[in-house]
Amino acid sequence: MSTLNPPIRDWPSQRVWIIGASTGIGKSLAEALLARGARVAVSARRADVLEQAFSAHTNALRLPLDLTDVDAVARGLDQVVSAWAAVDLVIIMAGTYSSIRAWELTAELVRETMQVNVYGVMNASALLTQHFLKQRTGHLSIVSSVAGYRGLPKALVYGPSKAAMINFAETLYIDLSEKGIGVSVVNPGFVRTPLTAGNKFNMPHLIEPEEAASQMIAGYERGEFEIHFPKAFTRQLKLLRLLPYRWYFKLIKKSTGL
């Protein structure tokens, strides 16, 4: 069976830029790729946190930036290309999350979440797409979430923002795959990160960031379009997408106790 993307296996030859790398999955992924010999650039909004996270990795190229600042992303891309002549894989991991119910929804929260999770990712993707087309090669990977599969409690704004990114990645793939540009979407389940630390509910099949990073690398090596994990959890959610609303709503309320 042919792969949807060109498999990435020769990591020492890869030039990788991770946007959103100071904590959680991004940090673990950067460390894992550095250990495999890849050249890795790391970006995050807070320069001090980024510096602390990679103080032991002198070979990581640090590029502090805010994903919502289009000019800053453009400057970051210029710096990566200036350092390495090209970039092979860009992984956009930056995102924000608030666990809320309908009666806690505010316009400000909507704006803040969409600014990062949707507009920031799409604006950066516009720059990167043009760059990859000029290079005639490259791979853009967007980290979304299983929360984008279907409506879930306490993901009132986060879920829709991630659903948008799944759709966005699918459409990018349709346009770019025939031009030799790789596109993938990563849909993690629950991972122990600063974003999930505030959750006050049971997180089934919770995994560590190191396991998430390992699953991502395996997905790139297999040439997958959708990289989702842990499978024991994500496959259940995929099946739930097939249920009629009447059954789905009843099952979700029963399983979450909400």
Averaged over 148-160, what is the pLDDT?
94
CATH number at residue 59: 3.40.50.720
pLDDT digits (tens, 9 = 90+) for 35-58: 999 999 999 999 999 999 999 998
99 occurs within a structural domain: yes
2 occurs within a structural domain: no
Which band of pLDDT confidence, cut at 50, 70 and 90, is reported for residue 157? very high
Number of domains in the chain: 1
6 occurs within a structural domain: no
Range of the domain at 249: 11-256
Other Cβ atoms within 10 Å of 75 Cβ, number: 13
224 occurs within a structural domain: yes
241 occurs within a structural domain: yes
Whether cis (ω within 30° of 0) applies to the bond prior to 194 is: no
pTM of the full predicted structure? 0.94
Count of positions (residues) in the chain: 258
Give every CB contact of residue 53 below 8 A, 6+ residues apart in sequence. 21, 22, 23, 27, 42, 44
Averaged over 152-180, what is the pLDDT?
96
Q: Six-digit token pair at 189?
A: 């389940």
User: Phi/psi class of residue 180: alpha, beta or left (left: φ > 0; alpha: ψ in -120 to 50)?
Assistant: left
139 occurs within a structural domain: yes
Structure confidence at residue 190 (pLDDT)? 82
pLDDT digits (tens, 9 = 90+) for 193-222: 776 656 665 666 788 999 999 999 999 999
4 occurs within a structural domain: no
CA distance 184 to 182: 7
pLDDT digits (tens, 9 = 90+) for 97-148: 888 999 999 999 999 999 999 999 999 999 999 999 999 999 999 999 999 9
